[in-house]
Amino acid sequence: METSSIEINELPLATKTQTPPASVEPIPMETSSIDELPSSDSNATDNIEAVGEKRKRADEDEKTNLESSDTKITTPSPWWKTSLCSYFRREASCSHGNECKYAHGEAELRMKPDNTWDPTSERGKKAKAMKMSEHEEKEEDEVLFTEQMMESIDGDEGGGGSVSVVDLSLSKCLVHLPNKWQSDELKKFLGEQGVLYKSAKKRRGMIVGFVTFENAEQLQSGVEILDGKTVNSSNLKIADVLPRTFDKNDARKSVKSARDAVTPLAYLSYADQLEQKKTSIGQMLKKLARNARKACPNGNSLPQWVLTSRDRGGLACNLEGIIESPITNGYRNKCEFSVGLSLQGKPTVGFSLGSFCAGVTAVEEPVDCPNVSKIASQYASIFQKFIENSKFQVWNRFQHSGFWRQLTVREGRKPGVFSNDEDAITRIAEVMLMVQVCLTGSDEAEVATEFEELAKAFAEGARASSPTLPLTVLVVQNHSGISNVAPPDAPLQVLAIPISDNGTDQEQTTNVLTEARIHDHINNLRFSISPTAFFQVNTVTAEKLYSIAGDWADLGPDTLLFDVCCGTGTIGLTLAHRVGMVIGIEMNASAVADAERNATINGISNCKFICSKAEDVMSSLLKQYLDVTQMEEAKPLSNANDDLNKQIPSTEEMTNSEHVADQNLPPSNTRVEELQDNEQKDSSSLEPEKTTKPQFKNVVAIVDPPRSGLHPAVIKALRTHPRLKRLVYISCNPETLVANAIELCTPSFDEPDRGNKNYRGRKKIGIAALARHRAKSMPTSEAFRPVKAMAVDLFPHTDHCEMVMLLER
């Protein structure tokens, strides 16, 4: 009866998925009950047992196959249902039904294997908010709110600079107040909450305010009411107010050093830094894919690169890797040192320890900052010794008063390849010093004398160093704004540098027109750099960056290259020998003057530089250089370029580029009108010929915008011009690259939404979400697609990383 039990138990398993085999039904021996067989027929019994064994083996094999098949189906991937289904989110339904590997709603959502939630889910957003809150609290614990801050606000409001005396034991600092609030708004808020107090102080532009109470009872009651109170979606935090003087060791326990503020990754090995930055760039690519999925028009199929992003681990395109910096220590050729008071109230030249918005103005010396060169550190030390004995005060950001504001050290290296092992000073050929001051309310004669002493101090300090420090030019910049970021047209004054000749002092006659610049080298080209012009701070790694950009751009003799936000022309000039023509666009007049000078220095004739905002001229330039008539195409290329040169005036014609110190940037709208007028004249004169042919077969744009990214008008011009098929985007801020790429790569909507501006009223809307909304109003045009990306470590020891992305259509 053992065979019978096997048949009875196993047959139903097979019948779960298929009908019984046809061979079973016509054979009475197999279908009859074993109990009905004559027990005396031993042969029959043997046959039955043989058939039973075969059936047993067959059923066991079938059961094994079914179990293995069930395992493949029912055992989910670790990522099963860990992401929300975008189709279900948009349409409230999904064609895959229950078999969809993505979650249909929050209830089905599972945690990812790395113990995180889908960032677009409610739990993911909540976890991110909690993480950010913890990070902010951690940073706030490192901030010191001192009596000096209270006094500065008190001095502003008390009139005549009077400062009231307060008991710090009865004073508290409120953190996370609205930026726009002043003392009146803070007092009104305290009254609404029923808080009794003696005085309240708050300055616009800061998130901190100070409250002083009459006695301990008021203080205790006020803290209980205010601590954790929600104001404009932020929770108030109560902090103590420290006296002006306190123990230095205690301060170091609470405040991060200049090294930690400037180079937060210096504690990691360089290999770990590269891995961390590569991972960060990978997250940006995942963010691009997620937002592109959300931004696509409803009812339209997703682009192929979005659909295949799952195969790349969620990346919008392949991440080719990360390029490391050949020099990791002292690599910066430009250092900007703030001038202020240290934690001990001493005039200091160095780096700020935190954000002014958070009430941090303390400045510490650049001690052990691995990204700062030895030359820059030594000049900072020389300047600090000078201002300690100066009759003029350092800049006070609370009171908007003072004289000395900032020191900028720019270095120009010699041509050649260098490494970390070589002495940094031997790599440098020229040095420019720019001292930023505020001349408001200063006596002109006293200032002139002070500048003479300053030049003498720098010259003597450079000669006293071993080896002697190079010093090429000394410039003073006058700026009266709140922040140290001066406008490009801020007045500059070049100071004569005294030199010593056989023990006697002799002043070197410095020509303002020719000496207000230094020189650096990239790819064996020599570049002239004016005081305020942009130039890559890590030139050795920049060479690798530009090489990658040129290789990806697929350049050739028939290529027209647009270098957008070109600065001093480094990208366009280094790639000029590989293309037919380069058009550079830059809004900084001095930088454009440098670019034209650099082209002349290096004997490059196929480059043209336009001084204007890219958003004002990009569309006109694309039409001018790409939509030329057959008549113009018949001209030799040199003649066509000559005609274009006549149409667009050079920087020398707009402004005397040599007088960098005294020139202001001409209005950009004037230049736009000139370009449009020229375009209209050309079109009217050639009106009979309607057909047009391109002048260049290959049109490529390389953009290297500032941290804020490309202007929407530039994105629109690049996106809507059909001849532009390839775009290389170089970004020092991957967040803005993602936002710009969303607009460039999102398919066009059938009817562009031009009236929905409700998103502008939202608070704390991210730049990616803003880009998704702007993509809805993009005119109908063929979208780009991200092809590949590369991380480039231009800033070792910091959390910043350059990103290069190739976009095609």
Task: Please tell me the distance from the alpha carbon of residue 408 to that of residue 334, in angstroms, as a whole number.
Answer: 7
Kindly calculate the radius of gyration of the chain based on its CA atoms and give it in whole angstroms.
35
In this structure, which amino acid lies at residue 18?
Q
Residues 6+ apart with CB under 8 A from 667: none
Catalytic residue among 296, 369, 565, 732: 732
The Cβ of residue 570 has, within 10 Å, a number of other Cβ atoms equal to 29
Binding residue per annotation — 743?
no
Expressed in percent and rounded to 5, the helix, strand and coil fractions of the chain are: 40, 20, 40
Binding residue per annotation — 704?
yes
Task: Return the H-helix or E-strand segment holding 495.
Answer: strand 492-495
User: Could you tell me if 807 and 317 are in contact, meaning their C-beta atoms sit under 8 angstroms apart?
Assistant: no
Structure tokens at 535: 């130039």
Partner residues linked to 407 by β-bridges: 337, 435
User: Could you tell me if 208 and 145 are in contact, meaning their C-beta atoms sit under 8 angstroms apart?
Assistant: yes
SS3 assignment, position 759? helix
User: Could you tell me if 185 and 202 are in contact, meaning their C-beta atoms sit under 8 angstroms apart?
Assistant: yes
Partner residues linked to 529 by β-bridges: 518
User: Could you tell me if 320 and 232 are in contact, meaning their C-beta atoms sit under 8 angstroms apart?
Assistant: no
Q: Give the full edge-to-edge strand order of the sheet including 785-792.
A: 318-323, 785-792, 802-808, 726-731, 698-703, 559-564, 581-586, 607-611
User: Could you tell me if 104 and 92 are in contact, meaning their C-beta atoms sit under 8 angstroms apart?
Assistant: no
User: Could you tell me if 145 and 241 are in contact, meaning their C-beta atoms sit under 8 angstroms apart?
Assistant: yes
User: What does DSSP assign to residue 176?
Assistant: S
Rounded to 5°, angle at Cα 350 from 347 and 352: 95
Name residue, tokens 């540098």. Answer: 497
Residues 6+ apart with CB under 8 A from 798: 262, 263, 264, 265, 371
Task: Please tell me the distance from the alpha carbon of residue 405 to that of residue 411, in angstroms, as a whole number.
Answer: 20
Binding residue per annotation — 536?
yes
Task: Return the H-helix or E-strand segment holding 219.
Answer: helix 216-226
Name residue, tokens 């008021």. Answer: 218
Task: Please tell me the distance from the alpha carbon of residue 265 to that of residue 797, in angstroms, as a whole number.
Answer: 5
Q: Is the dihedral of CA 549, 551, 553, 557 positive or negative?
A: positive
Alpha helices in 584-708 (DSSP H): 589-601, 614-626, 630-633, 637-647, 651-654, 668-685
DSSP character string of 550-600: HHHHT--TTEEEEEET-TTTHHHHHHGGGSSEEEEEES-HHHHHHHHHHHH
Decide if 607 is catalytic: no
The Cβ of residue 701 has, within 10 Å, a number of other Cβ atoms equal to 25
Pairing of strands 404-413, 334-341: antiparallel
Please tell me whether the peptide bond between 26 and the residue prior to it is cis, using omega within 30 degrees of 0: no
Structure tokens at 252: 């170091």
Distances (CA, A) of 273 to 107, 264, 361, 542, 789: 38, 10, 29, 19, 19
Structure tokens at 739: 């936002």
Task: Please tell me the distance from the alpha carbon of residue 714 to that of residue 736, in angstroms, as a whole number.
Answer: 14
Structure tokens at 198: 């003696």
Write a three-state SS string for 441-480.
CCCHHHHHHHHHHHHHHHHHHHHHCCCCCCCCEEEEEECC
Structure tokens at 660: 């960098």
Task: Return the H-helix or E-strand segment holding 71.
Answer: helix 42-74
Binding residues for S-adenosyl-L-methionine: 536, 586, 704
Active site amino acids: 732
Binding residues: 536, 586, 704
